[in-house]
Amino acid sequence: MKIGFIGLGIMGKPMVRNLLKAGHEVVAYDIIRTNVEDVAGSGAKPADSAKGVAEQCKLIITMLPNGHHVTSVVMEEDGVLAGAKKGSTLVDMSSIAPLVSQALGKACMEKGIKMLDAPVSGGEPKAVDGTLSIMVGGDEAVFNEVYDILKVMGGSVVLCGDLGAGNTTKLANQVIVALNIAAVSEAFTLSTRTGVDPVKVFQAIRGGLAGSSVMEAKIPMIMDRNFNPGFKVDLHIKDLSNALETAHSVGAPLPFTAMAMEILQNLRADGYGQQDHSAIVKYYEKLTGSEIRK
């Protein structure tokens, strides 16, 4: 199948490569030309604009940082809707506010374009191995049409409800991930300050109720002092901002999320915004003057 793909960052590049490996033809675009050249080297066909992608493909996937980026790419003069043919499908896999997804869906519907919101979880490692968790919102018939394509990139693909439900689910996911990293950081700071080997603590508790995918992924990185981004602090700030904004609009209190946001903002102020969100531990290390390492 011929698929358009717009947004070739940390996540988009490996997702495109998995589509190519599965035998699909991909027409790719990004505002950073070297990103386009990278995936072209893997077999993707380069395009000069979002409109150019949509003119060539009936299925267009976007993977962009935030809602205003998606809105620009879809709505601008040289954007998706300017080139898409009636009956085309837009699958936005960016993590954005649900209300933005719904507004874009309305604009697409007026042009005869179908839309799903399908944000992902799993970071770069799962994007590379094609095992992302994909949370989808939109019409079930459209979901069924693209399910096999999404399964190329994801280990799980779940329809969560109407348009916007995918991003609502992703916000819930990001709240849990941020608070889990903070909890793990607190716990291992405690054990380190009391002189217990963090490797032994990890081995002892990982198989019990405290074990989690977050701990499995992040504690080895922390102990190795590896903060290369699988998912950046700055992007988690964006997600929690969307979560808090959405929560305020529906009257859902998120006090712990607000606390996690302040930790992340502190990390950004200290210059760690481009590091992996496991750098949350550095907030606790700064307070205690200690480091969690092997």
- Which residues are known catalytic residues? 170
CA 19/CA 38 separation, integer angstroms: 15
Residue carrying structure tokens 């072209």: 40
CA nearest to 292, candidates 201, 222, 194: 222
Residues in contact with 197: Cβ distance below 8 Å, sequence separation at least 6, in sequence order: none
Distances (CA, A) of 120 to 11, 112, 151, 228, 250: 10, 26, 12, 19, 23
What does the chain come to in residues?
294
CB 147 within 8 A of CB 141: no
Distance separating the N- and C-terminal Cα atoms of the chain: 47
Amino acid at 57: C
